[in-house]
A and B are shown apart, each in its own frame.
Chain A
Amino acid sequence: MLPTYRDNQISVVNHLAYRWAEPRRGDIVAIRFSGPSILLMKRVVGLPGETVAFRDGRLLVNGVELEEPYVKNRCFWNRASETLDPGEYFVVGDNRVMPIEDHDFGGATRDRIMGKVLL
């Protein structure tokens, strides 16, 4: 999540944030693997039902480029458009300097989103 968050930085996750509300675009969320011991930190960029694609590093949501001021290093990723299922959120990190295959990103089902990262 560089440059927004550094490696080994201690972060606080609000586990109640999505108890009565749904994740919103731009939120940084904590995503679980098979349980809560290790969490991924990613930014929500696509909401359920939307179509998301990367074209030459530009993120397109429903065919329109999304303004991403938090991305400091331009990348040249390409990924075909895909429509998110109901209850599925598209998440990606802010650090996109690495090759696309080395970055963990994609659709996260709602039950995997544990909370909102506050700090």
Chain B
Amino acid sequence: MKWLWRTVAILIIGGAGVWLWLTLNPSPQKVIRGQLHRLAAQVSFTTAESDIARLGKIAGITRFFTPEVDVKLAFRGRSEQGVITHEFIQAGTASLRENAPGGLQVEFLDLNVTMSPDRRAATVELTLKATTPGDNQFNVQEMKFDLGRTNDQWLIYRVETVRTLK
């Protein structure tokens, strides 16, 4: 029976080692998914937020983006295309809050992460779901984010809407 206990102990220690390694060295895909979920949380807000929290979230939104971001957006017959800066992103976030006085819950669903061959860039296709409290309807938009790795950080440098139906 001694061999059995040894085998079990080796398996447990080996499993714990693998778990620890993966926890300390997450894959780029996992890091990117986490980054985008944090972005969704940063954009979301409730009416219960304090002014300090509100200002902090608006100011902090820029840490997810490169200084200049290529955008190509089309929604309900309107389209915008160009390069935007951090100031524009902050202004847009503040404006979004003004237009949704009851709060907003943003979620990114079904994230498909594709890494570039050199693993320094990634493209993420996802479904954005936006819900306002008290409303049983929600808005859905398919999106594509391009991210690049800079100083061990994954930053968004391009944002596009994707047409689900053409």
**Which residues does chain A contribute within 8 Å of B77, judged by CB atoms?**
101
Minimum CB distance partner of B143 in chain A? A34
Determine whether the beta carbon of A37 is less than 8 Å from that of B165.
Answer: no
Q: B29 in the interface, Cβ–Cβ < 8 Å? A: no
Is B164's CB within 8 Å of the partner chain A?
yes
Judged by DSSP, the binding face of A is: mixed
Query: Chain B contact residues: over half helix, strand or loop, or mixed?
Result: strand
Q: Determine whether the beta carbon of A33 is less than 8 Å from that of B164.
A: yes
CB within 8 Å of B: which A34-69 residues: 34-38, 40, 42
B83 contacts the other chain (Cβ, under 8 Å)? no
Which residues of B approach A to under 8 Å, CB–CB? 76-77, 109-112, 125-127, 129, 136-137, 140, 142, 162-166
| A residues whose Cβ falls under 8 Å from a Cβ of B | 7-8, 31-38, 40, 42, 88, 91, 101-102, 104-108, 112
Beyond known contacts A34-B111, A34-B162, A104-B164: 9 more, CB 8 A cutoff: A32-B110, A33-B109, A34-B125, A38-B127, A101-B76, A106-B165, A107-B166, A108-B165, A108-B166
